[in-house]
């Protein structure tokens, strides 16, 4: 349920929640031509801090490139806007949603003279798949819908239109009693979740699909790889994972800004490993939450304090 109040930044102005509206004939409303970020700010022991803001901002500008979107705001302007939105909404922790999209001018597939409108909103968002999911893991199902191929659309750009595929896959899984989907790519190998990257643990080594598997270049994926390697784990981060390897894995988990580190306990009604949160998953999940809550002083460069 969204909070119906607060302040949103739109194209350089701070507007009230109910005034943050767009024209129904905006290009992105018809053609999915938006790009966005999903970022968390944590209520750390050192105060509220946005996690890996610089990397999210890098990806935000990069996601606009394939669509010739001109984001007319600098890094400094978007950073100040984001910090200010968090402050004005009195948020100790927050989920932050920057968005850029082709707005209102003319309709037709070509954006023509449609402006690139930019907004930043923030709101409280707890555990993406529920607190219980973080502790006990979730049931997932491999979707009958395949992920877009990176040859069809730049899957490394966080494009709003891509999430129709994510919705189809996730809703199919939930209709079948699972909590989330795993999506295979065109080749039939494991890509990721609808809104998460995926990791497999086998014999105490970690595996995660490479960027050529039509996945989003996840920032939490990168964080988990770093944390795992710092703890001496071998991480294979450019592999193809077949569907069968999911069922025989010792452990599986999702990573994402919203999902954080969510264990997977069942795939296609087949129990994974110990049937709950695996030991390596728990170790990395604990390391992740210690890091983002600043219970360690590692990676201070990953924190932008509000
Ligand atoms: C397809 C996809 N793959 C991987 C990830 C993980 O990327 P990263 O956040 O950089 O670790 C996300 C983030 N999904 C965002 C949107 C979720 C939503 O429901 O909307 C998020 O986690 O904020 C994806 O959407």
DSSP string, 240-284: ---HHHHHT-SEEEEEETTTEEEEEEEETTEE-TTSS--HHHHHH
Nearest atom (ligand 1) to Cα of 166? 1
- Residue 148: the pLDDT is 96
Q: How far apart are CA 259 and CA 195, in angstroms?
A: 8
Average pLDDT over residues 199-217: 97
Average pLDDT over residues 89-99: 97
Residues 6+ apart with CB under 8 A from 39: 50, 51, 52, 53, 56, 82, 95, 96, 97, 98, 257
Read off the pTM: 0.98
Average pLDDT over residues 276-285: 98
ipTM above 0.95, yes or no: yes
Average pLDDT over residues 164-179: 98
Among 34, 38, 221, the mutation site with the greatest number of ligand 1 atoms within 8 A of its Cβ is: 38
Cβ < 6 A, ligand 1 pocket: 38, 192, 195-197, 216, 218-221, 255-259
Residue 242 Cα to ligand 1 middle (Å): 22
Q: How far apart are CA 29 and CA 103, in angstroms?
A: 8
Mean confidence (pLDDT) of the chain: 97
Q: Which protein residue's CA is at the shortest distance from atom 7 of ligand 1?
A: 218
Two tokens, residue 201: 């643990």
Whether the predicted pLDDT of 273 surpasses 80: yes
The HSE-up count of residue 147 (CA atoms within 13 Å, CB side) is 28
Residue 39 Cα to ligand 1 middle (Å): 9
- Residue 180: the pLDDT is 98
Average pLDDT over residues 55-83: 98
2 or 230: which leads in pLDDT: 230
Whether the predicted pLDDT of 4 surpasses 80: no
Nearest atom (ligand 1) to Cα of 39? 23
Which sequence positions are flagged as catalytic?
158
Q: Which protein residue's CA is at the shortest distance from atom 1 of ligand 1?
A: 195
Q: What percent of the chain has pLDDT over 90?
A: 96
**DSSP tally for the chain: helices H, then strands E:** 8, 17
Residue 159 Cα to ligand 1 middle (Å): 11
Residue 295 Cα to ligand 1 middle (Å): 24
- Residue 232: the pLDDT is 98
Nearest atom (ligand 1) to Cα of 222? 11
Q: Which protein residue's CA is at the shortest distance from atom 25 of ligand 1?
A: 195
Average pLDDT over residues 106-128: 95
119 or 125: which leads in pLDDT: 119
Whether the predicted pLDDT of 211 surpasses 60: yes
Residue 258 Cα to ligand 1 middle (Å): 7
Among 211, 216, 223, 227, the mutation site with the greatest number of ligand 1 atoms within 8 A of its Cβ is: 216
- Residue 5: the pLDDT is 81
Task: For 132-157, write each residue's pLDDT tens digit.
Answer: 999 999 999 999 999 999 999 999 99
Q: How far apart are CA 127 and CA 258, in angstroms?
A: 7
Question: Could you give phi then psi for residue 139, rounded to 5 degrees?
Answer: -90, 130
Where residue 45 falls among pLDDT bands split at 50, 70, 90? Answer: confident
Whether the predicted pLDDT of 2 surpasses 70: no
- Residue 200: the pLDDT is 98
Where residue 86 falls among pLDDT bands split at 50, 70, 90? Answer: very high
Where residue 3 falls among pLDDT bands split at 50, 70, 90? Answer: low
Please work out, in degrees rounded to the nearest 5, the angle formed at the alpha carbon of residue 162 by the alpha carbons of 258 and 189.
Answer: 85
């Amino acid at each position: 349920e969204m909070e119906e109040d607060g302040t949103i930044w739109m194209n350089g102005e701070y507007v009230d929640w109910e005034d943050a509206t767009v024209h129904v004939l905006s290009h992105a409303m018809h053609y999915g031509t938006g790009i966005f970020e999903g970022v968390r700010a944590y209520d750390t022991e050192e105060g509220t801090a946005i996690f890996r803001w610089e990397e999210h901002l890098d990806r935000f500008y990069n996601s606009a490139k394939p669509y010739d979107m001109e984001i007319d705001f600098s890094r400094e302007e978007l950073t100040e806007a984001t910090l200010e939105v968090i402050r004005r909404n009195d948020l100790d922790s927050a989920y932050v949603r920057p968005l850029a999209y082709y707005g209102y001018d003319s309709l037709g597939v070509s954006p023509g003279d449609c402006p690139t409108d930019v907004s930043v909103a923030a709101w409280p968002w707890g555990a993406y798949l529920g607190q219980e999911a973080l502790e006990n893991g979730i049931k997932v199902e491999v979707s009958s819908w395949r992920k877009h191929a990176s040859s069809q659309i730049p899957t490394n750009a966080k494009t709003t239109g891509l999430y129709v595929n994510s919705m189809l896959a996730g809703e199919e899984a939930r209709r079948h009693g699972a909590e989330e989907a795993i999506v295979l790519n065109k080749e039939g190998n494991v890509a990721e979740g609808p809104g998460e990257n995926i990791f497999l643990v086998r014999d105490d080594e970690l595996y995660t699909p490479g960027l050529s598997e039509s996945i989003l270049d996840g920032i939490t994926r990168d964080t988990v790889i770093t944390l795992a390697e710092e703890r001496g784990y071998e991480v294979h981060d450019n592999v193809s994972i077949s569907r069968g390897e999911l069922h025989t894995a010792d452990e599986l988990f999702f990573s994402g800004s919203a999902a954080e580190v969510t264990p997977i306990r069942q795939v296609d009604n087949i129990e994974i490993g110990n049937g709950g949160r695996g030991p390596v998953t728990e170790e990395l999940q604990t390391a992740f939450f210690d890091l983002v809550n600043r219970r360690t002083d590692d990676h201070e460069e990953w924190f932008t304090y509000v």
